[in-house]
Amino acid sequence: MFGWLKRRVRRENLKLVKQNQLAADYLYEFHRSASVQGLGGDMALMDTLEQALDDSYRLLDFLKKSEELTPTDADNHFKINKELRRLYDQVLFGRKQFAKQFGSSTEPLQKFDEKFVPNEGWEIFFHHFGSPES
């Protein structure tokens, strides 16, 4: 009866976890690169980002077999998403300040929701991800 609601919840769960995976991967590589170049590097932050990345992969695998996230996993990933947005905003702010002072950035300065989208877009990602295995 409420199939549309189940589909919507599933799509939102998939989007949340995939976006977290993309953002954690980007931020991990950003901080790893800064560390390698001697521009600082918070190892605890990198460990946290790596853990968020691993958890995202685990939950994407879980969603292949299940309709939706558990309430605990959903709540945890909402919190992770909020923190990833905060970290990305810091990176974006720094890049904007650099561009303002020294000219354009080599990478487009996009908002979080524009930056962290699967290459094929959300609709095709949802279609390819499919329904849980029966």
| pLDDT for residue 91 | 85
Q: Give the model confidence (pLDDT) of 48-96 as tens digits.
A: 999 999 999 999 999 999 889 999 999 999 999 999 999 999 888 887 7
Domain that holds residue 22: 9-129
Please give the DSSP secondary-structure letter assigned to residue 130. Answer: -
Measured CA to CA, the distance from residue 46 to residue 60 in angstroms comes to 21
Number of domains in the chain: 1
Q: Is residue 21 part of a domain?
A: yes
Whether 4 is covered by a domain: the verdict is no
Whether residue 2 is contained in a domain is answered as no
pLDDT tens by residue, 35-51: 666 666 667 888 899 99
Six-digit token string for 117: 């989208």
Position 106 scores a pLDDT of 67
pLDDT in tens, 7-36: 899 999 999 999 999 999 999 998 888 766
Neighbours of 50 (CB within 10 A): 14
Q: Is residue 58 part of a domain?
A: yes
Question: Does residue 1 form part of some domain?
Answer: no
Task: Give the orientation angle of helix 71-102 with respect to helix 3-36, to 10 degrees.
Answer: 50
Q: Is residue 134 part of a domain?
A: no
pLDDT tens for 88-123 read 998 888 877 766 677 665 677 789 999 999 999 999
4-28 burial by CB neighbour count: b if 16+ within 10 A, else e? eeeeeebbebbbbbbbbbbbbbbbb
